[in-house]
Amino acid sequence: MQTSKNTILITGGATGIGLALAKQFAVQDNTVIICGRRKNRLEEAKAMIPGLIIRVCDVSIEDERVRLYEWSVKNFPAINVLINNAGIQQSYNLQKTIDISLVSKEVETNFIAPVHLSNLFSDHLKKQTEAAIINISSGLAFTPLAFMSVYCATKAALHSFSLSLRHQLSGTPIKVFEILPPMVDTELDGGDRDHRETRDRGMNADEFARQAIESIHNDEYEAAIGTAANLRSKREEAFGFLNH
């Protein structure tokens, strides 16, 4: 797929992986739109990336997803790429009572939002000469970290959904990509790595974005980046290693 001269919407684009993708797509002659919950972080991203278009949106809320779609296609009818990137990552001790509202927010953000947005945008994307839906899942879709059980389960669900979506859209101009990151050095974990005194911060976000965009350019529809390839190919061995 061509990775220039597109109009791209990235959810969760103000920080982390989403911001790294926005930066690299922007310098490749794309129109890049990002959305996120925090206006201040969106404005910081816009100050960093000339020409970036921002929109405040909490994708965990159904009405806001609908408004995002309506605003996007009205103001940017050439939009041809949707990147479902927004995510929440929580830790749970399943032997204790958990806050089910946090679980619901995580599932809504990580899984239901990509399903809903993909469905909302699909008819519009079908009208483009070349289009793509790009789901950012995780190597943890295949080999979960037990203390992040819900996050890993949502990514496993997103992997399954991506397979079905790709199959159902195979006769249309829409290409469906799934990018599986390894651990990436972002703020996604909310400081858990610091609490666990994790020395390995993970892959640099800009390097991840470079490899992800290269995979998209090469039409690699399921791209496991870095150590995510081992989590996919050596599931049992990797589970024992991750959860010892």
Cα distances from 184 to residues 3, 206, 227, in angstroms, run 22, 10, 10
Residue 101: CB atoms within 10 Å? 8
| Total count of residues recorded for the chain | 244
Is there a catalytic annotation at residue 151?
yes
Average pLDDT, whole number, for the chain?
Answer: 91
Dist. CA 109–CA 60, nearest whole Å: 5
Dist. CA 46–CA 36, nearest whole Å: 12
Fold of 7-242: Rossmann fold (3.40.50)
Dist. CA 38–CA 86, nearest whole Å: 12
Band (197; pLDDT cuts 50, 70, 90): very low
Q: List pLDDT tens digits, range 139-194.
A: 999 988 999 999 999 999 999 999 999 999 999 999 999 999 999 987 764 445 44
Tell me what pLDDT residue 235 has.
59
Which of 69, 92, 151, 221 is the catalytic position? Answer: 151
Q: How far apart are the first and last CA of the chain?
A: 41
Dist. CA 49–CA 169, nearest whole Å: 33
Does the predicted model carry a pTM greater than 0.85? yes
Q: Is the pLDDT of residue 241 over 80?
A: no
